[in-house]
Amino acid sequence: MGPTDPADVSRQLARWVAAGRLIRLRRGLYAFGGAEAAIRRSPHPFVIANRLVPGSYVSLGSVLALSGLIPEYVPAITSVTTGRPGRRVTPLGAFVYRHVSAAMFWGFETHTLEGGGHAYVATPEKALVDLLYLTTDSADPRYLDELRLQHLEKLRLPVLSTMAERTGSPRVAAAVRYVIGLPQSEG
C-alpha cells in the first residue's frame, strides 16, 4: 500500500462530519458522532477539555463540584492553562480556559475517569486555590460564604494551607484562613 494523500484524508474526514459519523471539536480533533457515538460512547468531558487545549488541566468549579465541595451543577468545564484564555463551545459541551502564569501551573494529577479515560485534573485543594487566586474579591467573607462550601472534611487542610502560601498572594492566604475556620459540618 502506498503513501496516504493528506488531501484524501481531509476529504474523507469532511464527508464523515457531513454524514454525522464524526463531530469536529477543533482542527485535527474529532469525536465519534451518531450511531458510532452510541456504540463507542463519547469521551469524558475532562478528556475533551485536555485535548481541546493541550497543556491545560481541569480545575475551579468543575473539580469543586466533582468533589462535592460545592452544591451547584457546573455547566461548563473550566480548565487552567498558561496559554490564552478563552471559551470553546462544541456539540459535546462548553469549555472555559483561564490563564495562570507558569509559576501557578502545578497541583494537578492524572485522574482516572469513568469509562477508563485519563485526564489532568487539579486536586480539590488546588482547584479551590485556583478559584481564590483568579477571583479578585476572594478574600471577602461574603464571597466565600456565597460559595456555600460543604464537606470540608474532604480537604487536606495542611495541604491547602501550603498551597495558599505557595501562591505568594496575601489575598489567597486570607481566604484560605477563612475557609479553614469554617465549621467542618457544613453541607
Domain ranges of the chain: 1-38, 43-180
The three cell numbers of residue 42 are 463519547
Confidence category of residue 163, pLDDT binned at 50, 70, 90: very high
The three cell numbers of residue 136 are 479578585
Closest among 74, 68, 77, 23 to 45, alpha carbons compared: 77
At 122-143, the pLDDT tens digits run 999 999 999 999 999 999 999 9
Higher pLDDT, 55 or 30: 55
pLDDT at 35 over 70: no
3-state class of 12 per DSSP? Answer: helix
State which amino acid sits at residue 129.
Answer: V
**d(Cα 16, Cα 46) in Å, to the nearest integer?**
24
Confidence category of residue 121, pLDDT binned at 50, 70, 90: very high
At 51-73, the pLDDT tens digits run 999 999 999 999 999 999 999 89
3-state class of 143 per DSSP? Answer: helix
- Where b means 16+ CB within 10 Å and e means fewer, 1-24 reads eeeeeeeeeeeeeeebeeeebbbb
What does each C-alpha distance from 13 to 22, 40, 88, 120 come to in angstroms? Answer: 8, 18, 21, 28
Question: Can you tell me the mean pLDDT for 102-116?
Answer: 92
Element (H, E) at 161: helix 157-167
The three cell numbers of residue 149 are 462550601
Higher pLDDT, 138 or 26: 138
> Full-prediction pTM beyond 0.85?
no
pLDDT at 45 over 70: yes
